[in-house]
């Protein structure tokens, strides 16, 4: 593992350097950076970004991975005041996948997240009923202890046109 001084960022007492090697010749720049709050947000393929971070240097990860929901292609007329229609066709990276592929996807990125998290740190992962079960199984398989499930109640969550609880929670 090689660290270059030009990619080390010092946040007071915590130092986290980006791994650099032949696979990643350029410095990874944050999409958003706030030195006062010691916060960085990166935009890109999460697995590629995670691989560039050294072991045990992150205090907290919040992840919102693909839910692998359906993509029926329907365009539904809305009556809730948010927009005229809701297009159920999601981005291709969010398309439904066989369960085995979902488990492999979640295992790959959560394993990398586990590697970079400091001892005693935390990970928060959002999901829907489409995906959170696979995430929970992978977390437990990797030895994470699940302390809490947080359920968000969203009264007007698209495509919540029938008022079912399943579509109102995340």
**Confidence (pLDDT) at 162:** 53
Per-residue pLDDT of the chain (170 residues; tens, 9 = 90+): 333 333 334 333 334 544 545 565 567 788 899 999 888 888 888 899 889 889 999 999 999 898 887 666 667 777 777 778 766 666 677 777 889 999 999 999 999 999 999 999 999 999 887 789 999 999 999 999 999 888 877 776 655 555 555 554 55
Helices within 23-116 (DSSP H only)? 46-51, 99-116
Task: Return d(Cα 17, Cα 6) in angstroms, integer.
Answer: 9
pLDDT in tens, 83-92: 787 666 666 7
Contact 112, 52 (CB under 8 A): no
């Amino acid at each position: 593992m090689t660290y270059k001084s030009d990619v080390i960022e010092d946040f007071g007492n915590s130092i986290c350097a980006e791994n650099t090697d032949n696979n990643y010749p350029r410095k990874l720049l944050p999409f958003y950076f706030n030195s006062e709050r010691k916060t960085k947000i990166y935009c890109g393929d999460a697995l590629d970004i995670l691989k560039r971070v050294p072991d045990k240097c992150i205090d907290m990860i919040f992840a919102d991975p693909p839910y692998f929901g359906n993509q029926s292609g329907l365009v539904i007329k809305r009556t809730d005041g948010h927009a005229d229609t809701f297009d159920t066709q999601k981005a291709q990276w969010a398309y439904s996948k066989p369960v085995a592929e979902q488990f492999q996807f979640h295992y790959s990125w959560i394993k990398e997240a586990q590697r970079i998290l400091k001892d005693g740190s935390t990970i928060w992962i959002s999901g829907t009923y489409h995906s959170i079960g696979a995430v929970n199984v992978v977390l437990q398989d990797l030895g994470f202890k699940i302390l809490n499930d947080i359920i968000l109640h969203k009264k007007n969550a698209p495509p919540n046109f029938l008022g079912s609880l399943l579509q109102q929670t995340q």
